[in-house]
Amino acid sequence: MKAHILQHVPFEGPGHIGDWLAARGADIGSTRFWEAPVLPDPAAVDVLVVMGGPMSVNDEAEFPWLVAEKRFIAEVVARGRPVLGICLGAQLIASAHGARVHRNADKEIGWFEVAASGAEHDAEEAPPCFPFPAQATVLHWHGETFELPAGARLLASSAACRNQAFQLGARTIGLQFHLEMTESSLRAIVDNCRGELVPARWIQDEATILGRAGAHFAATHALMDGLLEWLTRD
């Protein structure tokens, strides 16, 4: 398995996703856009993971490599390879397929619940949908949201943001939230983005975010494992 990770900033790495890939003997490559925006041949990618970041998909003037990145994502999706987008990564998948990405009504930062949309009960002719659990408490860290790309199915929503997870075709899933966080990766994003932790309805403080993490990591990692197994199934 040749996996490729698109990483936008040093402090938002693959976390538990990297552990899952390494445990399965994957050949893991990466593009670190802050170092060099060099993308591989799409035909050489078996699994693509698109990570988060503090920039917007609309910041093409400031980050011109976003144009090539979106084109690359669309090419890998078109090849039917498993593609997973996390937060900004989900927004990039949406944008690469013509959907609008814009500011959400509220920033959502912290451990909040998402609920399944019931997309697995769609028409029989549609590709099977990932069986998202009825409810899950997950880590959020976003101020923007995405519209669903044409043909995508909504998998999950939260009280603060309707479009939390979607599936496009049979092998592409975008998650607005973070299942991949580990103790070290959560600490890294808090250390680099704590300026966003201002009092608001859907923003928890640093102590709450870090203090609740241990109670949720096992469940979020198990959900991440199940999703990756499902995406990469034969």
Question: Which residues are tagged catalytic?
Answer: 87, 178, 180
Measured CA distances, 3 to 28, 40, 82, 163, 217 (Å) = 5, 11, 10, 27, 23
pLDDT tens, position by position, for the chain (234 residues)?
Answer: 999 999 999 999 999 999 999 999 999 999 999 999 999 999 999 999 999 999 999 999 999 999 999 999 999 999 999 999 999 999 999 999 999 999 999 999 999 999 999 765 555 567 899 999 999 999 999 999 999 999 999 999 999 999 999 999 999 999 999 999 999 999 999 999 999 999 999 999 999 999 999 999 999 999 999 999 999 998
Sign of CA dihedral 203, 108, 5, 172: positive
Cβ distance 131 to 113 under 8 Å? no
For the chain, the straight-line distance linking the first and the last C-alpha, in angstroms and rounded, comes to 12
165-168 and 153-158: which strand pairing? antiparallel
pLDDT for 161 equals: 98
Beta-carbon count within 10 A of 25 CB: 8
Q: Which helix (H) or strand (E) holds 230?
A: helix 206-231
Residues 6+ apart with CB under 8 A from 185: 11, 12, 13, 15
